[in-house]
Amino acid sequence: MAVLRIVFCGEEYVLVGNMESGGAIAKRDDYENFRPSYAHLYPDGTIWCRHETIGRREDIEVLGESDAKPTDEAVTEMLTAFLCGDWNPWR
Protein backbone atom coordinates (compact mmCIF):
# COMPACT_ATOMS: atom_id res chain seq x y z
CA MET A 1 0.00 0.00 0.00
CA ALA A 2 1.27 3.44 -0.89
CA VAL A 3 2.06 5.94 1.83
CA LEU A 4 2.36 9.55 0.73
CA ARG A 5 3.67 12.61 2.57
CA ILE A 6 1.03 15.33 2.33
CA VAL A 7 0.17 18.76 3.66
CA PHE A 8 -3.43 19.40 4.67
CA CYS A 9 -4.61 22.53 6.50
CA GLY A 10 -1.01 23.63 6.95
CA GLU A 11 0.03 20.42 8.76
CA GLU A 12 2.13 17.52 7.47
CA TYR A 13 0.49 14.08 7.48
CA VAL A 14 0.77 10.75 5.72
CA LEU A 15 -1.94 9.49 3.39
CA VAL A 16 -2.17 5.71 3.58
CA GLY A 17 -3.62 5.00 0.16
CA ASN A 18 -3.64 7.27 -2.87
CA MET A 19 -5.20 10.47 -4.11
CA GLU A 20 -7.65 8.73 -6.45
CA SER A 21 -9.06 5.98 -4.22
CA GLY A 22 -8.53 7.74 -0.91
CA GLY A 23 -7.26 6.47 2.40
CA ALA A 24 -6.48 7.32 5.99
CA ILE A 25 -4.86 10.67 6.80
CA ALA A 26 -2.71 10.47 9.93
CA LYS A 27 0.30 11.95 11.65
CA ARG A 28 3.34 9.82 10.81
CA ASP A 29 3.84 8.78 14.44
CA ASP A 30 0.19 7.74 14.77
CA TYR A 31 0.41 5.59 11.63
CA GLU A 32 3.66 3.98 12.73
CA ASN A 33 2.19 3.11 16.15
CA PHE A 34 -1.28 1.93 15.01
CA ARG A 35 -3.14 4.84 16.56
CA PRO A 36 -6.37 6.09 14.97
CA SER A 37 -6.10 8.35 11.94
CA TYR A 38 -6.99 12.03 11.97
CA ALA A 39 -9.28 11.94 8.95
CA HIS A 40 -10.12 9.98 5.82
CA LEU A 41 -10.03 10.91 2.14
CA TYR A 42 -12.90 9.20 0.32
CA PRO A 43 -12.98 8.24 -3.37
CA ASP A 44 -15.48 11.04 -4.08
CA GLY A 45 -12.84 13.55 -2.98
CA THR A 46 -14.32 14.53 0.37
CA ILE A 47 -12.23 14.51 3.55
CA TRP A 48 -14.09 13.51 6.70
CA CYS A 49 -13.15 13.82 10.36
CA ARG A 50 -15.48 12.85 13.18
CA HIS A 51 -18.60 12.71 10.98
CA GLU A 52 -17.95 16.11 9.39
CA THR A 53 -16.63 17.12 5.99
CA ILE A 54 -13.46 19.13 6.61
CA GLY A 55 -12.07 19.45 3.10
CA ARG A 56 -11.67 18.13 -0.40
CA ARG A 57 -8.98 16.33 -2.36
CA GLU A 58 -7.95 19.67 -3.87
CA ASP A 59 -6.97 20.89 -0.37
CA ILE A 60 -4.14 18.31 -0.19
CA GLU A 61 -0.61 19.05 -1.36
CA VAL A 62 1.39 15.89 -2.10
CA LEU A 63 5.04 16.15 -1.05
CA GLY A 64 6.06 12.71 -2.31
CA GLU A 65 6.29 9.13 -1.15
CA SER A 66 6.90 8.37 2.52
CA ASP A 67 9.03 5.63 4.04
CA ALA A 68 6.70 5.46 7.06
CA LYS A 69 5.63 1.99 8.14
CA PRO A 70 4.29 0.47 11.34
CA THR A 71 7.01 -0.25 13.89
CA ASP A 72 7.81 -3.86 14.78
CA GLU A 73 6.76 -3.15 18.38
CA ALA A 74 3.40 -1.74 17.29
CA VAL A 75 2.73 -4.73 15.01
CA THR A 76 3.61 -7.20 17.79
CA GLU A 77 1.45 -5.35 20.32
CA MET A 78 -1.51 -5.14 17.95
CA LEU A 79 -1.32 -8.80 16.91
CA THR A 80 -0.94 -10.01 20.50
CA ALA A 81 -3.88 -7.92 21.68
CA PHE A 82 -5.99 -8.94 18.69
CA LEU A 83 -5.32 -12.65 19.21
CA CYS A 84 -6.13 -12.30 22.92
CA GLY A 85 -9.36 -10.44 22.16
CA ASP A 86 -8.14 -7.25 23.80
CA TRP A 87 -7.26 -4.95 20.90
CA ASN A 88 -8.56 -1.40 21.29
CA PRO A 89 -7.11 1.05 18.75
CA TRP A 90 -8.56 4.01 20.69
CA ARG A 91 -6.55 3.37 23.87
Instruction: Give per-residue pLDDT as tens, 30-43.
Output: 999 988 899 999 99
Is there a domain that residue 88 lies in?
no
Question: Is 26 within the bounds of a domain?
Answer: yes
Supply the pLDDT for residue 19.
96
In a domain, 23, yes or no: yes
Give CA–CA dist 85/32, Å, rounded: 22
Q: pLDDT tens digits for 46-80?
A: 999 999 999 999 999 999 999 999 888 888 887 88
Side chain identity, residue 17: G
Please report whether residue 55 resides in a domain.
yes
Q: Structural domain of residue 48, as residue ranges?
A: 3-83
In a domain, residue 90? The reply is no
Structural domain count of the chain:
1
Q: Decide if 91 is inside a domain.
A: no
**Whole-prediction pTM:** 0.83
Residue 29 resides in a domain: yes
Please give the Cα distance from 87 to 78 (Å, whole number): 6
Integer Cα distance of 19 and 64 in angstroms: 12
Give the whole-angstrom CA distance, residue 44 versus residue 21: 8
